[in-house]
Amino acid sequence: MKLYRSLIAMSVTGALVAMSGNAAAAAFALIEQSSGLGNAFAGGAAGAEDATTIFFNPAGMSRLKGNQVTVAGSLIQPSIKFSNTGSTGAALQPFGDNGGDAGSLVLVPNTYLVMEVEPALRFGLSINSPFGLQTQYDPTWVGRFQAINSRIRTVNLNPSFSYEMNDYVSLGIGLSYQHITGDLSNAVNYSAAAGGGLGPNLEGVSSMSGSDSAWGYNFGVLFNVAPDTRIGLSYRSKINYNLNGSVSFSNVPAALQGQAALQNGNVSLPISMPDMASISGFHQLNDKWDVMADASWTGWSVMQQLVVSRANGSVLQSTPENWTNTWRFSLGSTYHYNEQWLARIGVAYDQTPVPAAYLTARIPDNSRTWLTFGGQYKVSDSSKVDFGYAHLFVKDTSIANNQTATGAGDLVGIYSSSINIVTVQYAYNF
């Protein structure tokens, strides 16, 4: 039953790579890791203001005095709305609505610790989430046979060290132990699979869950080119997974329960999270103003083709993705109002890696522009609170995803999306 092999593979591969639903950076990266949200994360690899530098450039730990713990949380609220402009419903099934708002409010927490081992050596430890997704369409929408629910979580444990070689150069290196979990679902068209012989309106739901853990690394260098100017370079490696999980089907008609493609069982998918590289600059104009900039590259070309297999090694489907590498550019500025208060502002442009021809209901991604602002209040000599807000303007996305051959219909329309983010962070020195 080629139809069922296609539907199963579409379920598994779609949710694992289509994590753009609530990811704030393009595709499914989450860069909401610090108070730098107010500056649109400009200067991330050079700023080194607090322990969150572990994520952006571990060499920046050399600038911190004593020990510091930082905790933060980002609320991400995407809006993802589909407008039908000519879809063809799945064969022998009700047409369905536009799916509602597929965006879901999520909290992205992170924690960082930096400790001074000796004057030139720092140890750091961070727990964060660099990739993620949570989207939910109405279960009766027109594209339900392509996607209903997608939920992805990653947890990244990142021990690291920095060493201050001299007054001008610091080095940093770290290891990443990253765990990924996923749950997803889409409808299955049993009526079409039976050629109409069982009658119309027979459908069920295909559900999949899976997980894996793997290792990666990161390193960076920080140059103090002048007392008021810093340049940072950083790199974070790709991480290779072999995601293992199980697939199950609901409401399978008795006449189809013997089909091998509809059996509950184990599936696997090799997949890689991309590597990333950044160059950042920070300059203190005077006692009141700082300016910063950043250019970050992400190697999304690792998403070329995904192969889903059963436990017995049989290939369910080989799915082309053909993603491309991307750049993110940002500019920011900070104003020091007095010894207790400062204000931040920033702007960024984030490219999408997904070619228009490969957009699906699970991947309604497009390039986006960030506008951000934030601030900091110094509570005492040992503690401070940061806060930030960002609005992301996402370009309208046209989709024409023809899955009529697999009984899933032809989804044609426009996605209108935007994202709002609020971040609060607390840092304590001890």
Q: Which of 37, 65, 134 is nearest to 334 (CA)?
A: 37
Give the length of the chain.
430
Strand spans (E) along 121-238: 121-128, 132-136, 149-164, 169-189, 203-226, 229-236
pLDDT in tens, 36-85: 999 999 999 999 999 999 999 999 999 999 999 999 999 999 999 999 99
How far is the C-alpha of 422 from the C-alpha of 417, rounded, in Å?
17
426 strand-pairing partners: 71, 385
> Contact at 8 Å (CB) between 416 and 398?
no
Least confident of 3-12, 39-48, 123-132, 269-278: 3-12
- 118-130 in b/e burial notation, b at 16+ Cβ within 10 A? eeeebebbbebbb
**Token digits for 338?**
């007095």
H/E stretch holding 399: strand 397-403
The mean pLDDT value for 244-263 works out to 93
Domains in the chain: how many in total?
1
Residue 17 scores a pLDDT above 60: no
In the chain, what percentage of residues exceed pLDDT 90? 79
Which residue did the predictor score with more confidence, 15 or 205? 205
Please state, rounded to an integer, the average pLDDT across all residues of the chain: 92
CA distances from 409 to 14, 88, 95, 342 (A): 16, 6, 9, 53
135 strand-pairing partners: 103, 150
How far is the C-alpha of 201 from the C-alpha of 246, rounded, in Å?
26
What was the pLDDT predicted at 12?
A: 43
The mean pLDDT value for 285-300 works out to 98
Residue 342 scores a pLDDT above 60: yes
Residue 367 scores a pLDDT above 50: yes
> What single letter denotes the amino acid at residue 219?
F
Q: What is the CATH classification number for the domain harbouring 286?
A: 2.40.160.60
Confidence at 228, pLDDT banded by 50, 70, 90? very high
Q: Which of 85, 257, 78, 203 is nearest to 150 (CA)?
A: 78
**In degrees to the nearest 10, what's the CA dihedral of 243, 249, 254, 258?**
0
* 3 state DSSP class of 4: helix
Please give the model's pTM, rounded to 2 decimal places.
0.92
User: How far does Cα 172 stand from its chain's mean position?
Assistant: 24
> Contact at 8 Å (CB) between 36 and 378?
no
Confidence at 208, pLDDT banded by 50, 70, 90? confident
Interior angle at CA 295, CA 227 and CA 71, nearest 5: 75
Residue 23 scores a pLDDT above 60: no
Owner of token pair 């309106």: 201
The mean pLDDT value for 5-27 works out to 46
Q: Tell me which residue range forms the domain holding 401.
A: 2-429
pLDDT in tens, 109-159: 999 999 999 999 999 999 999 988 888 999 999 999 999 998 888 999 999
Residue 220 scores a pLDDT above 70: yes
- For the CA atoms of the chain, what is the radius of gyration? 23
What was the pLDDT predicted at 375?
A: 98
The mean pLDDT value for 303-332 works out to 88
SS (H, E, C) 232-247: EEEEECCEEEEEEEEE
**Token digits for 161?**
């060290």
How far is the C-alpha of 343 from the C-alpha of 376, rounded, in Å?
7
What was the pLDDT predicted at 118?
A: 97
The mean pLDDT value for 268-287 works out to 96
